[in-house]
Amino acid sequence: MSETVIREVFSNVWTFSRPFARYNVLPFGGRSTALKLRDGGVWVLASTPLDSETKSTIDSLGPVKYIVSADALHYLFVRDFKKAYPEAKLYACQDAVDNLKDDSLKFDGVWGRDPPETKYEFENEVPACYFSGFKNKDIAFLHRESKTLIQADLLFNLPATEQYSKSPHSAWNPLHALPLGPTSWFHTKVAWNLGVDKDAMRRDVKTVSGWDFDRIIPCHGDVIETDGKAAWNKAYSSYGSSEST
């Protein structure tokens, strides 16, 4: 039986949640997200295996037009998605491209390589913000229609209850004795420590804080169904984001 939990979290917004243990120890969970765009095409943040259930659901939504890798570390399954959808355009940050070490993959856009003002085809519906000052070089995405922020390692919401709901393994770990939610002091400290360029972080945190979103889909941990803006601003309050926004 597949361990993938497939859910339509909002109209035209689908998540594919699976167990994943970082360092084979910490149960962080993993998640891909698919968006059906207004023209009928599909945008996919590819971060989990393209198993048969995942592919069947994505295929039912429409033709895949865009495949996105969310940061320097979430690239393991990009090759499989591109092989399954060769006509789709592929996007990643420069660090992910370097980590892939696959000259056969053609990238149609690369954050950190392309000029900062570069806009890609999907940004009318799904604007992006590249966090050049973040250790993992994450890109945050806003699905305007559903007011949903989609991202990988900028914000987590542990424990990964949904992602482990079909797994024989537990989502709990002794690490979870720490306060690991986005509004915790610990998350704020982690967010600060992962900022390697504080000025760039302040700029990009402000950009995302200015977006209109209520929901957050993280790659690690449960979806924040509402009050996502408050969670984001609390997690990044050390960079000057307004907790009252």
Tens-digit pLDDT profile for residues 63-116: 999 999 999 999 999 999 999 999 999 999 999 999 999 999 999 999 999 999
pLDDT digits (tens, 9 = 90+) for 38-57: 999 999 999 999 999 999 99
Residue with tokens 């309050």: 237
Whether the Cβ atoms of residue 84 and residue 90 lie closer than 8 Å to each other: no
Residue with tokens 């491209």: 97
- Helix and strand totals (H; E) in the chain: 6, 13
Whether the upstream peptide bond of residue 159 has omega within 30° of 0, thus cis, is: yes
**CATH fold for the domain made of 5-111+123-239:** Metallo-beta-lactamase; Chain A (3.60.15)
Q: Where are the domains of the chain?
A: 5-111+123-239
Pairing of β 148-151 and β 139-143 = antiparallel
In the prediction, which pLDDT does 196 show?
98
Whether the Cβ atoms of residue 90 and residue 78 lie closer than 8 Å to each other: yes
In the prediction, which pLDDT does 25 show?
66
Residue 94 identity (one-letter amino acid): Q
In the prediction, which pLDDT does 244 show?
40
In the prediction, which pLDDT does 181 show?
83
174 pLDDT higher than 70: no
Average pLDDT, the chain: 93
- In Å, how far from its chain's centre is CA 104? 25
In a 13 Å sphere around the CA of 148, the CA atoms on its Cβ side amount to 23
How far is residue 207's CA from residue 131's CA, in Å, rounded to a whole number? 10
pLDDT digits (tens, 9 = 90+) for 20-43: 877 666 788 999 999 999 999 999
How far is residue 121's CA from residue 136's CA, in Å, rounded to a whole number? 24
In the prediction, which pLDDT does 245 show?
40
179 pLDDT higher than 70: no
pLDDT digits (tens, 9 = 90+) for 126-166: 999 999 999 999 999 999 999 999 999 999 999 889 999 99
pLDDT band at 243 (very low <50, low <70, confident <90, very high): very low
In the prediction, which pLDDT does 242 show?
56
Pairing of β 89-93 and β 139-143 = unpaired
> Could you tell me which residues are beta bridge partners of residue 26?
22
Q: Would you call 185 helix, strand, or coil by DSSP?
A: helix
